Structure 1
Amino acid sequence: MRHLGLAMTGGLLLAGCATVPAPMASPPPPPAKPTFATVGLERVLGQNAAALRQLFGEPDAEMTEGTGRKLQFSSGICVLDAYLYPKDGGGVPVVSYVDARQRDGRAIDRASCVAALTRRTGGR
């Protein structure tokens, strides 16, 4: 019995020497969703279709889906899609989002596209 007590005591002493695994590092947070600056888009965001026609001329394409509407304007430099939705669930649809791309599909700054479209002189 005495040997059993010594063996248990020795085992407990050895257990105290065991290394404790380091806590696993938490995984990195997911990448932040991209944010889109609205600087340079003041002439477009919040505007209705009539204001866009006055600014850019007639749209090259126009689509409606439910209460949403998309007007597409293009120049030799870029294509701009303006998405209009009724504000607060009613009223005249206004631009709530714009997307832009170069004519070949590559990315372009949205404000640069707006500037290019306001300078076009009827030639597409």
Structure 2
Amino acid sequence: MRKIALVVLASATLSACVSSSPPTYWPPQQQRPAATTPPPQTQVRPAPSTGGFRAPQVMNLPGLEGVIGKNATALANLFGPPRLSVREGDAYKLQFTGEACVLDVYLYPLAPGAEPSATYVAARRASDALDVDRAACVRALRR
């Protein structure tokens, strides 16, 4: 008898959880917006073509005059062969290393079709990768 009472109680409890109408927390049915005419199309004129070229900003800090504006050959003559040379599109990243620091030099063309030249320099300590003075790193790595 106990088992039957438990089954009846369980089924009554479960039936209370099932409802034929949606819960009240559901959003009400939304009316479809009336059909409207699309806004008039406007003629979009493309910008004058520059071939996708965007001139880079050139770093201008004291002590970097011998690096900024130089091409890859001039930088290799100044610091020796780069430890790393990465080309991405028409840009380069050259990395020069020494005991004191690591110097990353970024080269971009200054005009469409021009040879990439150094426009930005980043420097960090070789031991723990903390930023260091760029000009001091340039002086430390010069041949």
TM-score, structure 1 as length reference: 0.65
> 1:38 maps to which residue?
61
- Matched to 1:64, the amino acid is R
**Partner Cα separation in structure 2 for residue 87 and residue 80 of structure 1:** 21
> 1:52 maps to which residue?
75
> 1:20 maps to which residue?
none
Q: Which has the higher helix share?
A: 1
What secondary structure is seen at the aligned counterpart in 2 of 1:38?
Answer: coil
Which portions of structure 1, spanning 4 or more consecutive aligned residues, are displaced by more than 3 angstroms?
Answer: none
> 2:137 maps to which residue?
113
What secondary structure is seen at the aligned counterpart in 2 of 1:72?
Answer: strand
Instruction: Mark the runs of 5 or more structure 2 residues left unpaired by the alignment.
Output: 1-58
Aligned residues: 84
Identity %: 50
Q: Which structure has the larger Rg?
A: 2
Q: Which has the higher strand share?
A: 1
Counterpart of 1:99 (choices 76, 99, 122) is: 122
CA drift of 1:91 comes to 1.3
Instruction: Mark the runs of 5 or more structure 1 residues left unpaired by the alignment.
Output: 1-35, 120-124
**Partner Cα separation in structure 2 for residue 73 and residue 92 of structure 1:** 20
